[in-house]
Amino acid sequence: MVESDMRRHKITFLPMDRVCFTDGDENLLEVAMKYGVHINSSCGGNASCGKCRVKIVEGAVYSKDNTNISEDEYKAGMRLACKTSARSDIVVEIPLESQIDRTALRRKRYVPQILSVADIGSLVKGVEVEPVVSKIYIELPEPSMQDNISDADRLLREIRRRYRIDDISVDFKIIKGLAKALRDAGWRITVTIAFTKTGYKIIDIEPGNKEDKNYSIVIDIGTTTICGQLLDLADCSLPGQDDSPENRLDTCTIAETSDYNAQISYGDDVISRIMYSQKKGGLKRLGEAVKGTISKVIKELLEIGKVDMNHVSHVVFTGNTIMTHLFLGIDPKYIMLSPYTPVFSIIPSLYVEQVGIDVNEHAYVYIYPCVSSYVGGDIVAGVMGSGISKSGKTVLYVDVGTNGEMALGNSDWLMCASCSAGPAFEGGGIKFGMRAGKGAIEQVKINPLTFEPMVLTIGRLKPIGICGSGLIDIIAEFMIAGLIDRNGKFSRDLKTERLREGDGDYEYVLCYAKDTQINRDIVVTEADIDNLIRTKAAVFAGCITLVESAGLTLDDVEMLIIAGGFGHYIDIEKAQTIGLLPELPAERFVFVGNGSLLGARLMSMSKSCFLEAERIAKMMTNIELSDNNRFMEEYVAAMFLPHTNEKAFPGVIARLNEKGRG
Amino acid sequence: MAFEIPRVKYTGRIKDVTIGIGPAAVKIGGESCYPFYLFEGEMPNIPKVAFEVWDCEPEDWQEWAIEPFIDVIKNPVAWARKCIDVYGAKLIALQLKSADPNGMNKDTEEVVEVVKDVSNNINVPLIVWGTSNDEKDIELLRRVAEVCEGKNIALGPVSEKNYKQIGAMAIGYNHVVMASSPIDVNLAKQLNILLGNLGVPDERIIIDPTTGGLGYGIEYTYSVMERDRMAALTQEDVKLQYPVICNIANEVWKARETRLTKDEDPKLGDERKRSVLMEAIASMTLLIAGADVLIMRHPDSIALIDEMIATLTT
């Protein structure tokens, strides 16, 4: 890419005369979506539907060939928006067939408040980078008659001398092979040192200098999704250390991947998993299922990162309490029964062989401590990863997962709660739902007059399904376009082919089969909308109940951190439109993506976080929601779009009224 | 300094709703204080009782419930007339029992004829209560709305499932709707919002909070109604500022305690007195919780309630 091509260009869309600016190499469809300008499109930005035709009136563009544009049309300036990017300031006319309605032109200019996951830099400032497991290269003096102390003492002496570490010992596991390992390596070795609560421990010895081969794997065991990252500990830094763009989250992440938790076939939510674990052989099968998925994820990470399994020395797991129990093969029975007690909250560090997953046997395993039966290590990790426990501001942290989990507080106090929210935002219980992977519909606009959609997918591939951020957009757009009522039911009398009666349920066709990868129409059904409303209602009700239990109101929340696997972006205004997020000023929101992984990363990168995690777990006061009347009441109130309490959503109600459909 | 009695600070007012037309029209709602708190605000329209009339001869009524209407029980028009002429009814509530798909399941047109007859032969406002079957009520109440055009009747129950169809007819033919939700403040409010968005004017909505019988869950209804009123009057919750109707007769008179005779269970005492008192106590409870209209059955219990209302409002 030539330097000048990357400049910010001004794009004027006609006939609405809307001025937009490009960022990097965005195509015209992406720019239009970013600024809320409607251009029809249904293949996700893949050039196959040919609907996003625009006319270049002025300026230079770069456009890939496309068979959907004839030669004459091409000469006349016709292009597909999804395959065209600006090379200078340009003026683009959106022809009638892909244009927005006239009434919308008069509407307040809307700049979406889209948060992407990169915005977390400032949250964890001041954390020192010092991996829990580190490697150091040492050359030992060979033994002689004058210096014939034991091999282990020789090793420790050298480390003490060079690094001034006193509380260090050699793990028994490596004592047996120590003599041979030192001599085979000619006394030039790399030792792997783990930081534990009882001091440093030498856990591995390798010949030669392997200092640059020190990796860790962090895994978030979600009820629905298991996510993992492979980190390069030899070359790691934390976001927010300075403001240079290179020093961001991604500097040491070599690979990232995820997969559905194989336990899903034994039940969608944690309760059904516990029930299954009580069946004969159930506990064992659930353990095997989750370990199977984890091994797959780890294998994939190592493949993507081209890293040798033997160079992974640290593995960090986070998960909710039930997932943690099942992963370790511990019977979770009493979590389900009143008064809901877990077997443990803090698990000491373990070796890989003790948990039975497929990595280098010396690797050290750390499992995040849990708080209560329904507030697990994932939220402790989230709280740590997002820096709440060190924050001077009052922060509300919300993890939108199958188990909705929230934490509230600052450096002085922390409270938490959790509720069953359902897997809708991860694609569960949604007819064409999917995780936020390639081909997932992630951004949607719907023309309020023609009801034609504008669809963008992750990777700009033909759509396969819809991920959480896409669903938020869809429901919000349905509301604004008047396609659904405030109770989430379709307005069946609307005249549009896209709204039709499916299998005993009304549905809206987002993409016709020919524009998809799956050769079936991708639809959104009333049942899907119901599921999503239930999920968002649980999350919102949990938040407000937690905040009020602390004697605060939502206005007192100075920062709201959203975590969850629903996509790469979250459009704050649309999330407010459906009532998932409260109507607070946009600048108070931060989106961190998978917050639990964030905490797991810190745990691996910084010794201070290792101690901090337990402090957080012990410091959190849990508010039980399962028998909480206020929560139930808030839940019913939130089972409406955006909410039964209209006063809490004045902006949304005003926008709906603007369309005459308050 | 003289002692000052603390007062509730009211910020809202219940909307006025009128049922019927002409001089006999009945106005309900309008309260600016909690029920009967006349020392703090006003109840410009005192609560009303609607006499219940069935559209067919009841099969399982107690002998002592039938007694006051024994001469007219087979004829809904005569029954309604007797309520007005003999017992002084100011409102008639016609229950369309015969249309119930789980019961006689009479054809809509047959039932509509009865509605037409009754509405044409009375001069007091009419409340028409459907089957509470969402599907059946759509066609039934739709036709009722049509044949009662110009009479400004109250039509219901309207649920979250059929509010669109019935609400649209109520708008078209200028009737009042009774918005029915299952004993929950939020659900009541949601339905009112939906009806409002559909275009039903505020002065045409009455809340049916769903009523439990005495000894059969009336306390749930009580606290929900109480909270409806608190939200409406002190928390500026405009979507709850509507009058409330309670269809209580049905609930009380089907209870075992109104059916057992003294011979069957001597501890319970005289069955007539007992049933009448049960209906009266249930109704009284609901009035205190905030009911604006009560649908009642027995003239004796109605007399007791009228007396209570008169005592508390004068």
A286/A21: higher pLDDT: A286
Tens of pLDDT along B140-187? 999 999 999 999 999 989 999 999 999 999 999 999 999 999 999 999
Cα–Cα dist B290/B129, whole Å: 20
How many CA atoms within 13 Å lie on the side-chain side of B89?
A: 30
Which residues fall within 8 angstroms of residue A551, CB to CB, at 6 or more apart? Answer: none
User: In the structure, what pLDDT confidence band is assigned to residue A251 with cuts at 50, 70 and 90?
Assistant: low
Q: What pLDDT shows up at residue A247?
A: 34
Q: How many structural domains are present in chain A? A: 3
Mean pLDDT across the stretch B248-272? Answer: 93
Contact A633 B190 (CB under 8 A): no
Interface test with A, best of B160, B183, B186 (most A CBs within 10 A): B186
3-state secondary structure of A511: strand
Cα–Cα dist A342/A270, whole Å: 13
Q: Indicate whether A105 and A162 sit together in one domain.
A: no
pTM: 0.81
Cα–Cα dist A654/A176, whole Å: 73
Q: Indicate whether A103 and A140 sit together in one domain.
A: no
**Closest Cα partner for A49 from A388, A630, A453, A395?**
A453
pLDDT beyond 90 at B106: yes
Contacts of A487 in chain B (CB under 8 A): 160, 190, 194
Domain of residue A176: give its range: 133-207
User: Could you tell me how many CB contacts below 8 A there are between chain A and chain B?
Assistant: 28
Q: What pLDDT shows up at residue A259?
A: 85
Q: What pLDDT shows up at residue A28?
A: 87
Mean pLDDT across the stretch B70-76? Answer: 95
Q: Kindly state whether residue A182 falls inside one of the protein's structural domains.
A: yes
Cα–Cα dist B13/B29, whole Å: 9
Six-digit token pair at B153? Answer: 């009747």
Q: What pLDDT shows up at residue A164?
A: 83
pLDDT beyond 50 at A248: no
Q: Kindly state whether residue B8 falls inside one of the protein's structural domains.
A: no
Which residues fall within 8 angstroms of residue A294, CB to CB, at 6 or more apart? Answer: A219, A221, A226, A228, A327, A357
Q: Kindly state whether residue B67 falls inside one of the protein's structural domains.
A: yes
User: In the structure, what pLDDT confidence band is assigned to residue A115 with cuts at 50, 70 and 90?
Assistant: low
ipTM of the complex: 0.82
What are the φ/ψ torsions at residue A256 (nearest 5 degrees)?
A: -145, 135
* CATH at residue A144: 3.10.20.880
3-state secondary structure of A411: coil
Cα–Cα dist A63/A211, whole Å: 47
Contacts of A633 in chain B (CB under 8 A): 185-186
Contacts of B228 in chain A (CB under 8 A): none
pLDDT beyond 80 at A2: no
Q: Kindly state whether residue B142 falls inside one of the protein's structural domains.
A: yes
Contact B239 A661 (CB under 8 A): no
Closest partner residue to B194 among A486, A637, A646, by Cβ? Answer: A486
Q: How far is CA B296 from CA A86, A303, A437, B45, in A?
A: 75, 77, 61, 19
- Pick the residue from chain B with its C-alpha nearest to A634: B186
Ordered alpha helix ranges (H), B125-242: 134-147, 163-173, 185-198, 218-234
Q: What pLDDT shows up at residue A432?
A: 92
Q: Kindly state whether residue B265 falls inside one of the protein's structural domains.
A: yes
pLDDT beyond 70 at A245: no
Q: Is the dihedral of CA A37, A38, A41, A47 positive or negative?
A: negative
Q: A519 — alpha (psi -120 to 50), left (phi > 0) or beta?
A: left
User: In the structure, what pLDDT confidence band is assigned to residue A47 with cuts at 50, 70 and 90?
Assistant: confident
Mean pLDDT across the stretch B179-208? Answer: 95
**Closest Cα partner for A455 from A509, A502, A533?**
A509
pLDDT beyond 60 at A114: no
Q: Kindly state whether residue B11 falls inside one of the protein's structural domains.
A: no
Contacts of A636 in chain B (CB under 8 A): 184, 186-187
**Closest Cα partner for B242 from B251, B229, B259, B255?**
B229
Q: Kindly state whether residue A520 falls inside one of the protein's structural domains.
A: yes
Interface check A662 vs B, CB under 8 A: yes
Q: What pLDDT shows up at residue A239?
A: 46
Helical axes A607-619 vs A377-385, angle rounded to 10°:
120
Q: How far is CA A334 from CA A322, A343, A347, A420, B75, in A?
A: 11, 8, 18, 17, 63
- In the numeric block, the tokens 């990162």 are attached to A305
Tens of pLDDT along A145-156? 999 999 999 999
Tens of pLDDT along A299-349? 999 998 899 988 998 999 999 899 999 999 999 999 888 888 899 888 877
Q: How many structural domains are present in chain B? A: 1
Mean pLDDT across the stretch A260-266? Answer: 87
Q: Kindly state whether residue A88 falls inside one of the protein's structural domains.
A: yes
Mean pLDDT across the stretch A405-409? Answer: 92
Q: Distance from B24 to chain A by nearest Cα, in Å?
A: 36
- In the numeric block, the tokens 């511990």 are attached to A330
Q: Kindly state whether residue A257 falls inside one of the protein's structural domains.
A: no
Q: Distance from B197 to chain A by nearest Cα, in Å?
A: 6
Mean pLDDT across the stretch A517-544? Answer: 93
**Greatest mean pLDDT range, A118-132, A354-368, A496-510, B99-113:** B99-113
The kind and range of the H/E element at A571 are strand A569-571
Q: How far is CA A217 from CA A132, A461, B65, B200, in A?
A: 12, 29, 78, 60
Q: Indicate whether A15 and A102 sit together in one domain.
A: yes
Q: How far is CA A566 from CA A224, A538, A575, B29, in A?
A: 12, 16, 12, 48
Q: Kindly state whether residue B5 falls inside one of the protein's structural domains.
A: no
Q: Tell me the sheet residues that pair with A84.
A: A63
Q: Indicate whether A9 and A101 sit together in one domain.
A: yes
Q: What pLDDT shows up at residue A659?
A: 63
Contact A487 B239 (CB under 8 A): no
Q: Kindly state whether residue B86 falls inside one of the protein's structural domains.
A: yes
Q: By percentage, how much of chain B surpasses pLDDT 90?
A: 95
Averaged pLDDT score across all residues of chain B: 95
Contacts of A485 in chain B (CB under 8 A): 194, 197
A83/B119: higher pLDDT: B119
Tens of pLDDT along A73-113? 888 888 888 888 888 899 988 876 555 444 333 333 444 45
Q: What pLDDT shows up at residue B277?
A: 96
How many CA atoms within 13 Å lie on the side-chain side of B42?
A: 10
Q: Kindly state whether residue B6 falls inside one of the protein's structural domains.
A: no
Domain of residue B259: give its range: 19-309
Q: What pLDDT shows up at residue A243?
A: 41
User: In the structure, what pLDDT confidence band is assigned to residue B10 with cuts at 50, 70 and 90?
Assistant: very high
Q: Indicate whether A68 and A161 sit together in one domain.
A: no
From the centroid of its chain, how far is CA B191? 18
Averaged pLDDT score across all residues of chain A: 84
3-state secondary structure of A392: coil
Q: Indicate whether A151 and A95 sit together in one domain.
A: no
User: In the structure, what pLDDT confidence band is assigned to residue B232 with cuts at 50, 70 and 90?
Assistant: very high
Contact B193 A486 (CB under 8 A): yes
Q: Indicate whether A73 and A33 sit together in one domain.
A: yes
* CATH at residue B160: 3.20.20.20
Interface test with B, best of A480, A483, A485, A656 (most B CBs within 10 A): A485
